Every structure is written in C-alpha cells, then in structure tokens.
Structure 1
Amino acid sequence: MDKDYQQAVYEYKRSPDQDSTIPVRRPVIVVGAGPVGLATAIDLAQQDIPVVLLDDDCTLSTGSRAICFAKRTLEILDRLGCGERAVDKGVSWNVGKIFFHDQMVYEFNLLPEAGHRRPAFINLQQYYVEGYLFDRAAEMPRIDVRWKNQVTGISQGDDFVELTIDTPEGQYKLQCDYLVAADGARSPIRNFCGLESKGQTFRDRFLIADVKMKAEFPSERWFWFDPPFHPNQSVLLHRQPDNVWRIDFQLGWDADPVAEKQPEKVIPRIKALLGEDAEFELEWVSIYTFSCLRMEKFRYGRIFFAGDSAHGVSPFGARGANSGVQDAENLAWKLKLVVDGKAPDALLDSYGQEREYAADENLLNSTRATDFITPKSEVSRCFRNATLRLSKNYEFARRLVNSGRLSRPATLVNSLLNTPDQDQFSGAMVPGAPVEDAPVALNGKACWLIPLTGNIFTGIYYHDAGRVADETLKDLQALMNGAIPVKPLVVVPPDPVPANLAGFTVIQDSGGLLAQRYDMQPGTFYLVRPDQHVCGRWRTFNPAAVRDALMRATQNRIDTSSTLARATCAA
C-alpha cells in the first residue's frame, strides 16, 4: 500500500555549504521540488551531473491538483525510473464522452490502435507523482535535496549565478554554473530577475471537488455542456485512484469564490449530478480562475525557466504538468553536454526556442478550448450549441467540438537541431517528432522500443536478412565510440538473427509495427536525440551524414552550409 504522501513531512538538514566562508559552487541548482524540478534533477543525476534541489517547503502538493498524465509523460517517467509505479497506481483511460444537455452526442478514443506500452492517459493525484519522483531522487547520491531552503535573492556574473538562501538556521550563499527555475506560477526567481509572464486571464471561475465515493461510472473522461443538473454551465468528471472522483463545475465570473467553497454550496451541486441519495465525502475543494500566458524568453543568461514559472495554461486539456515535464527532458540532456564540455553554450539557446514553440502550441489550443467551453457572446454560444447538436451525427462537427484538446507532445518541426529530410518518407516520424513506441523482441524476449532509447543519442538501423556488411558494422562501432556516442539499435526480421552482430543491441520487429510506424525499408537509419525526439533519418545509412546531423543536433557546427562533415566537436 502506498504511503500517505499528503501527510509526509521531509526533514530539514543543515548542509556543509552553510559553514563555508565563501559561496560554494555547484554545476546545477534546481529551485522547486514539484514534478518539473524533481524530473529535471533526476534526469541530470542519471547522466552523472550533480544537482542541488532547493525547496522552501518540506511537504508535497496539497490536494490532487494535476491529475491527467499523458502517454508521453509516462514514457519520460519510465526513463526516470518511476513510470511503473505511476501506471500501477493510476487509473488508465483512453476513452472520452461528450454530453450536451442530457444526451451523449459522441465518444472518442485517444489511442484506438494496439501496440503501445502505455495508455493515452492515467489519472493520478499530483502528490503521488511528486512522491514517486522524490522517492527516486532520494535513491540517487548525485541529488542533494534541501528542504526549507528559500531563495531570497539572486545575482548573475559572467559565468555563474549566485543565490541567497534562507533556512531555519540562518542565511547562506550558493553559486552554480546554471540555475533551473521550476518554482511555480508565482516564481520568485522570475520576480528577482525583473521578468514577467504575459497573456490573457479568463473571466470565469471553476470549482474543483475531489469526492470520495464508490461509483459505477467507467474509467473515462466525461464532459457535459449545459447539463440539466448544472444548467448553462459545463461539468467534467474524472476517476482517480482510491475511489476519488474529480468533478469540475463551471461557475461563471460572478460566483463568490469564498462562498462557493463551503460544503453547503458544494454538496448540493454534487447531489444534483449523482442523485440525492448518493453517499460521498469531500476530500478537497478549490476555486480557480486561470490565465493563458508565458514569459517572452525561457532563458535568461544562465537561468532557465521551466514548467509553470515559464508558462501557464487553462486546466482543460491537461497541458500544465505534462508540458512542464517535457520542458525538463528537453533541458537536461543539453545541460549535460554543455557542462561536460561536449557542446557549446549555443545548444542551451535551443531550449528556449523549442519549448517556447511548444508553449505557444499549448496556449493556442488551451485558449481555443476555453473560448468554446465559455462562450463570450450569444453568437458564440449559438455556434457552439449548433456544433454540439450536429456532432451527434456528423464527423465534421466533432472536429469542431473543443472540451479541451488533450495534451500531445510538440513535434519540433522548425528546430535548428533537426537535419531536414533528403529522402522520401511517409508517416509521423518526421525530424522533431517524439518517437513512437512499438513492440519488439530483445534476446528473444518481448519488450518495447522506447525504453531502448533515451539519455544518449540512439541510432536505429533497419536491416533485412543475411549478414550485415562488415563496413556497416565498422561504421556503427565508430558511432558508438565517438566523442558524443551514439548507441546503435540494429533491427532485423524475426528469424534468423544475422550471426555477425555480437556486441550490438539487436532487436526483432516481430509484429512489423516498428517498420510500419517509421516507414522503414532495408538500410533505413534514424538518429534519435537523448530526449527521444527524431533529429534525422535516411533511406541509406551514411555515417558522414549521421555525424554531420549529430554535430547539428549538438550545435557543434562551424559551417552550417555543409551537408556532410564540415563540423567540429567542442570536446
């Protein structure tokens, strides 16, 4: 049984750094021990970068908060070592249903095809995710978690950041090469830097009620527009573990946020949905308004903003925590290479370029969802209601319904780290796309593709039958032993495995889904980044072109007009 993470209190411990007469310098400091800060710290520590993680509190988040964790986030949690715990505890779901008035107008499946290790989403209270991440961090000697360490001041030099930190035993200073601010929507680090987030605040209020009850509802996402039990507003229902159900009630801008939190106001709303005889307990209640906003730049010198400190979206679509964890995975591998001296500082600029693009995509979808859910005029409401009526029978109308287009990872199509296609491919695995999973076999045992990638660059080479050419093996071995190593995966048909592949990771595409999803033919080669995004692909394995793409992906390029090997490595 899981421990009660809502009651967990973590101990403040004095650090030897507090006794130093001059500020101690660390490679990376992360501020904020929420999901984003913990994910960043674990990712760096797994890659042998020591991290100090500071948090001004000594507990995990209160209440369920973020509850929907997307497939891509689960794959990242797998790589960080706690995905299995999250999936085992969480409520897996793929199906959503849309209701208008008292009728279901249609349902959708977010993962209709088989052959994926993880579901489209799990529902899991944020404090469980934080607890699992912290348990993982506590296992890692390269992570120094410091509770009750509040940053109260900050300054930047040419090659360092200095923090002033308050503790129960007084103040001390600490320096770092790089600072990651994962300190939430009200980010003190952002305020110390004189920076701000800009965007749109929506004039509406919503009630979140976490209700403990035994119910027969299926594990699906149910969304009502203008239901008879809550007229002229919307309602969202989700199942969580421990017999807890999340219910969101739209209230309108004029609702009193203090009064609406009181049980005498909340309980009648829930009974209107569940029935007068329903038995339940209120576990957590919150009233919220929300904004869609972001900082202009996510990089500020040697400081990087991630998660809610960098961008904020409406809760519809589950884009907040998911995009924040994806910020962490984007930044960690780049910091690793730069700290190790294997890539120039310019690589860190790409964090802002890529994640600002992803944030804009999330903000656009979040704003559109909010506008559909909360029409701003009678004309907009008429359009929405007509769309909902038509959606019962017409597919085109269903594409217009927006109850919160659910979180999807960004395909970084315009990234400077990509090598554009020179060959013809079909399918979704374009440069910049997050990799798709597929069932494969490794050493005769069933497994999955995605866990075989990540943390370092990976090459996926698709071979047909017979021996692999000695020259090809020599070139693959050279990639393994390069200054920036590439781990090759050699994909072969089910039987027989070529005899000359000893020393290589050989996987079998037993069901053919890998070849299908990646549009692979004999000789096809994919180069995958440490954060499991495609950065280049070729119909024929060309080691010079792959090395060139590797230099581009790490910004070690001198002459960007070259399509072959006019590049140098900072190492």
Structure 2
Amino acid sequence: MNTPVAVIGNGPVGQTTALLLARWGVPVVVLDQRPARDLVGSKAICQQRDVLDIWDAVGAGAQIAAEGVTWTTARTFHRGAELFSFTFADAGRPAFPPFVNLSQPRTEEILDERVAAQPLIDVRWGHRVTGLVQDADGVTLACDNGAEVRAAYVVACAGARCAELRDALGVAFEGHSFDDRFLTCDIRADLPGMRTERHFHFDPEWNPGRQVLVHPCPDSSFRIDWQVPANYDLDAETASDALDRRIRQVVGDQRYELGWITVYRFHSRCADRMRVGRVLLAGDAAHLMSPFGARGLNSGVADAENAAWKLAFVLNGWAPEELLESYHDERHAAAQENLEVTTATMDFLVPQDAAAAKHRREVLERAATDPDAQALVNSGRLSEPFWYVDSPLTTPNERRPFAGRPRRGAVPEPGPGILTPDAPVRAAPERQRGGPADVERQQCHPAGSTGWSPRRFRQLAREGFLLLAAPGADLDAARTVAAQRAAPVRVVELAEIDTTGALAGALSVRDGEVWVLRPDAHIAAVLEHPTPATIEGALHRALADREESGHGLLPTSR
C-alpha cells in the first residue's frame, strides 16, 4: 500500500481521520492551507464520552479527559429560577465521563503529539487544494504552491469554508442561516458554584427575551454565549463599556480576565452527498449546525472513524469498494438527525413567528411546576452517537427492536445498529491477523502474568470485527467463519472476558447468542443460536459484500 490517502484539513476531524487510518497501517498525507496551527480561542469545547473513546484508540482520549473539566449535570433556568436539571445515564461501566470541556486548540495540540509520533502521517502546511481530478485508480490534487499530490482516496475535512471543493465535486450544500447572532467570550474568574455544571438561562433579566449559556473550562475559565440581535455591534459595546457590564451580570463583582471574543451566525446546512467517487466529505465540510447540543465537532469525529475503518478495509483488500457507499448512507443519515435536533432547538430559542413565540413562553412558564412541560423545554439535546439501525450494513433482529430516540440524557437498549456499551474486561495479549498497528502495544502485559490483561470492551471491539459468543453459542461455527476471513475477525467467549458480569448485564445477553461488532464498536448483528451460514451472512452484510462473490475470504486448500 504505497499510495496514501489524502486528508484535506488539519483540524480535529482531519487529525482523527489521519490517526485512525495510520492505526490500520494506511499511509496518509494531510494538507492544510494555513501556514501553521492556529491556537486562538476556545472554539469547540464539549468532548462527548463516545468521542473520547474514539480518541482513546489513538492514545489521546485519556489525556484529553484528564486535562478537561468533567461535568455530568446540565441545569436549565428561566428568569433566574431553576426549572430542572438532569444527569446522564451510564450503560455498563464506561471509561470516560459523559462530557469534558477542553478548548479545541488544546485538543488539537494533544492530537498533534500523536500525529508527530506516527511515521505513516505526512503533514504539509501551506498547501491549499485548488484542483481535484479523479480517475479509475486514484485522485490527483493540485495545490496553490504548485505541488501535486497523488492519493488513492481523499477525505475532505476542510471546514465550512470549502465551497470551491464542494462545487468541484458537484455537491450541493443546502439549508438556511439564522438571523440572530451569538456573542462568545472566554473569561477567567473564580466562580466556585459553576465549576462542574453547564448552566442554560432562558430570558434572564440581564439578557431579556434571549438566552445565555455558561460552560466551565480548565484553569478557572468559563465560556459564555449570549444570544444577541442581528444588528449587534461588538465594537460599539466594547467602546462603551457595555461589554464589561454584560459580563458582570454573569460573574458579579468577581475580578475576571477577558480572553477570546467573537460573534457567530449559526447555520443549518448539509451536503447532499458525502461520498463522490473516491472523495469522502467529513465534519463541517459536510454539515453545519448550531452548537447547542455540542453536535458539530463530536459528529465530525464520528465521521472520521466511520470513514477510516471502511477505507482501511477496502485498501487492505478485506472489503469491496461498495463498502464506501455505506459511509454516505450512515453519516448522511446521522447529519440529518443532528440537523433535525439542532434546528428544533434553534426554533425554540429563536421563534420564527408569533405562534411559536407564544408556545415557547407558555412552556417556560408551565415548566416551573409541571414536569410534562419540562420535557418540552429545548435548550439543546446534548450530543449522542447516531444509531445505525437502518443501515444497509446492519442485520435486524425482531427480538431486539429499536424503540426510537430515548429520553434526553438516556441511551437506547443494546441491539443491532447501536454503539455497544462499555465495561471492563480481560483480554488475551496475542495479536490477531491483520488488526490495527498498535494492538500489540495496547495489549502488553507484565512479565510473569497469566497472559490476560485488564482492558475495556470498546478497546477490544475496535481491533477489527468481533464475534462475541454468549454461553451456549456454537463456538466452532464462529471460529470456522473467522478462520476463513482475510479481514481481522476475532472470536471471544463472553464468559472468559466478563469477569464482573458488567458486560453481560449491559448487553442483556441471552444464552446461545453471537454478537457481531464492527470495528467502530457498533453492533452489526445479534444472532440467536447461529450457524456458520448465518454468521457469514451477517459479516457479508456488514462489509457490503455479496455472499456469492467470495470477496474477503481466505483461499481454501484443495
């Protein structure tokens, strides 16, 4: 595999894509039009638990979680009075908290350290892509400095302002923009009561008719977002000391230091195609949404993982190229759901007509005493994974149906298409055939040990396809199928790894089942007393492989 994958854009989504590709042994060249890393401002600060798990696969998740501020509670206020709060449900025993807050620049620095340690990644700053030509064997990229880059595939993570690239691909980017602006300030102050909670204020007396959101950040710093009118003038407010008064209405008489400050206009837009031939669009290049719910960066990292394992499997000859079309199927559906959720939030925050404004006012007034009304208050449904229940890669099971989007802060019951719950497990140290390049490092164990090491289930799942056999399952059937696959497929007995019972409880496992997990830890199938044929069928489906083609099978001796 000599021709690299080109990643356009060296932000968190591009960094994650490159690191995950390199983890599978794929060489990567990263192109960014900027001369160097821009380390100004907090930008995207909310890192969700399942994204930390993805970053953990490349050695960055634990450090990001340790440096960030952990918060598990979201409080919502109306005119200064608390309406309600909620905490996040934990399925199993996850490795990370529901959310940590850490500035995007610091997250990028941590990911840069991992990139620098990866010899398969070549980062080239000052390379603005101006031309793109696809052919049957790859993609040729032309840069404004005269450089030409040849790539097998391209993942475009170039951010929102890449209209030229989308136009060159014939991709529409339809949607709408909101008139109201949002003023964002990074401040440092001593506010003990707000260090570990997110606070959302509807109609506070110090921003009447609009909203304010306060997030804690490391080192006694806070991120404050005010909804402001479309004609808001930051320069005029700064010159008149009105900005100082605005901040003091949040922090009181406390001394504070003002850092980064900006004014945003929010958009809801989505590319009509996220795969065009050998080019995949990811992150803000593919979708834009309001930040209420922290679904922008977090969904972009999920794009990166989905793209990386599928490209790796195609490039390694473990799956047909048709697998890449499922990237569009899955991540476009995820973008559409995120836009639906965030647009509903914006419609509640910024009513579009008199009837909507009346509804909002009545809901907020009732929510002070009526729990049913509290469920209607929309301050942002916080980021969660997209569940691939309708994906062409997922084998449905009528005994484990998807019950629909769960209540705010909850997780769905495990089943086909769902991201698996996490739990501590023990796992053997041997490396499977064809797995990620860092599996041996992750599985090292002390000399003189029994050969088993403590791990997390999601770590184990992300090493390839996993066939998890419950008690009573036909292990020989699973092992026969795994042995015939060129792709990395591991068979694991639940009883051997689940010493605490936490995993069996989180999955609600039934005797005789075989769970098929994808390399992104999503559940591809739950098979009841399967035969080799039904296991093989689920794997074929999860790899977009026609069963009769034999693609991805090891040659058999005659």
TM-score by length of 1: 0.86
Pick from 217, 220, 229 the counterpart of residue 197 of structure 2: 220
Q: Residue in 1 aligned with 2:406?
A: none
Q: Residue in 1 aligned with 2:419?
A: 434
Pick from 51, 56, 67 the counterpart of residue 73 of structure 1: 51
Identical columns (%): 36
For 2:213, the aligned partner's letter is L
Q: Tell me if the contact between 2:18 and 2:121 (Cα under 8 Å) persists in the aligned partners.
A: yes
| Offset of residue 488 of structure 1 | 2.0
Q: Tell me if the contact between 1:152 and 1:164 (Cα under 8 Å) persists in the aligned partners.
A: yes
| Offset of residue 157 of structure 1 | 2.1
Q: Tell me if the contact between 1:425 and 1:519 (Cα under 8 Å) persists in the aligned partners.
A: no
Q: Tell me if the contact between 1:423 and 1:538 (Cα under 8 Å) persists in the aligned partners.
A: no
Deviation per residue, 1:508-548 (Å, 9 max, x gap): 241x3322221202222110111111100122243321111
Structure 1 residues 446 and 391: CA distance shift in structure 2, 3 A: farther
CA distance in 1, matches of 2:238, 2:531: 63
Q: Residue in 1 aligned with 2:154?
A: 179
Structure 2: segments with no counterpart, 5+ residues: 403-411, 428-449, 554-558
Deviation per residue, 1:142-195 (Å, 9 max, x gap): 11111222212222223321111234xxx1212112111100001142244353
Q: Residue in 2 aligned with 1:288?
A: 264
Q: Residue in 2 aligned with 1:458?
A: 466
Structure 1 residues 349 and 203: CA distance shift in structure 2, 3 A: same
Q: Tell me if the contact between 2:179 and 2:265 (Cα under 8 Å) persists in the aligned partners.
A: yes
Higher RCO (Cα < 8 Å, 6 or more apart): 2
Q: Tell me if the contact between 2:309 and 2:519 (Cα under 8 Å) persists in the aligned partners.
A: yes
Structure 1 residues 424 and 202: CA distance shift in structure 2, 3 A: closer
CA distance in 2, matches of 1:551, 1:115: 31
Q: Which moved more, 1:317-326 or 1:512-521?
A: 512-521
CA distance in 2, matches of 1:288, 1:391: 29
CA distance in 2, matches of 1:263, 1:435: 53
CA distance in 1, matches of 2:484, 2:550: 16
CA distance in 1, matches of 2:391, 2:400: 20
Structure 1 residues 114 and 99: CA distance shift in structure 2, 3 A: farther
CA distance in 1, matches of 2:478, 2:542: 19
Q: Residue in 2 aligned with 1:569?
A: 551
Q: Residue in 2 aligned with 1:561?
A: none
Structure 1 residues 196 and 259: CA distance shift in structure 2, 3 A: farther
For 2:46, the aligned partner's letter is C
Structure 1 residues 475 and 534: CA distance shift in structure 2, 3 A: closer
SS in 1 for 2:152: strand
Structure 1 residues 190 and 61: CA distance shift in structure 2, 3 A: farther
Q: Residue in 2 aligned with 1:527?
A: 516
Q: Residue in 1 aligned with 2:346?
A: 370
CA distance in 2, matches of 1:69, 1:288: 20
Q: Tell me if the contact between 1:60 and 1:131 (Cα under 8 Å) persists in the aligned partners.
A: no
| Offset of residue 431 of structure 1 | 1.3
2:15 equivalent to 1:30: no
Q: Residue in 2 aligned with 1:499?
A: none
SS in 2 for 1:204: strand
| Offset of residue 256 of structure 1 | 2.5
CA distance in 2, matches of 1:143, 1:462: 39
For 2:321, the aligned partner's letter is D
Q: Which moved more, 1:481-490 or 1:349-358?
A: 481-490
SS in 2 for 1:388: helix
Structure 1: segments with no counterpart, 5+ residues: 1-23, 493-505, 559-565
2:491 equivalent to 1:508: no
CA distance in 1, matches of 2:305, 2:201: 35
Structure 1 residues 355 and 258: CA distance shift in structure 2, 3 A: farther
Question: Residues 89-104 of structure 1 correspond to what in structure 2 (within 5 A)?
Answer: 89-104=67-82
Structure 1 residues 93 and 113: CA distance shift in structure 2, 3 A: farther
Pick from 302, 320, 323 the counterpart of residue 299 of structure 2: 323
Deviation per residue, 1:383-405 (Å, 9 max, x gap): 11221222233322122111011
Question: Residues 75-474 of structure 1 correspond to what in structure 2 (within 5 A)?
Answer: 75-111=53-89, 115-167=93-145, 171-187=146-162, 188-216=164-192, 217-260=194-237, 264-275=241-252, 277-421=253-397, 423=399, 428-442=413-427, 447-463=455-471, 472-473=475-476
Structure 1 residues 166 and 98: CA distance shift in structure 2, 3 A: same
Deviation per residue, 1:3-37 (Å, 9 max, x gap): xxxxxxxxxxxxxxxxxxxxx98331001000000
Q: Which moved more, 1:47-56 or 1:262-271?
A: 262-271
SS in 2 for 1:116: coil
CA distance in 1, matches of 2:14, 2:197: 30
CA distance in 1, matches of 2:503, 2:309: 25
| Offset of residue 423 of structure 1 | 4.8
Structure 1 residues 266 and 423: CA distance shift in structure 2, 3 A: same
Q: Residue in 2 aligned with 1:6?
A: none
Deviation per residue, 1:81-115 (Å, 9 max, x gap): 10011000001111010100021111111236772
For 2:424, the aligned partner's letter is P
For 1:184, the aligned partner's letter is G
CA distance in 2, matches of 1:460, 1:33: 36
Question: Residues 537-556 of structure 1 correspond to what in structure 2 (within 5 A)?
Answer: 537-556=526-545
Q: Tell me if the contact between 1:62 and 1:127 (Cα under 8 Å) persists in the aligned partners.
A: yes
SS in 1 for 2:494: strand
- Number of residue pairs matched by the alignment: 518
Q: Tell me if the contact between 2:423 and 2:457 (Cα under 8 Å) persists in the aligned partners.
A: yes
Root mean square deviation of aligned Cα: 2.2
| Offset of residue 215 of structure 1 | 1.6
Q: Which moved more, 1:185-194 or 1:309-318?
A: 185-194
| Offset of residue 49 of structure 1 | 0.6
| Offset of residue 446 of structure 1 | 5.2
Q: Tell me if the contact between 2:91 and 2:506 (Cα under 8 Å) persists in the aligned partners.
A: no
For 1:152, the aligned partner's letter is T
Q: Tell me if the contact between 1:423 and 1:539 (Cα under 8 Å) persists in the aligned partners.
A: no
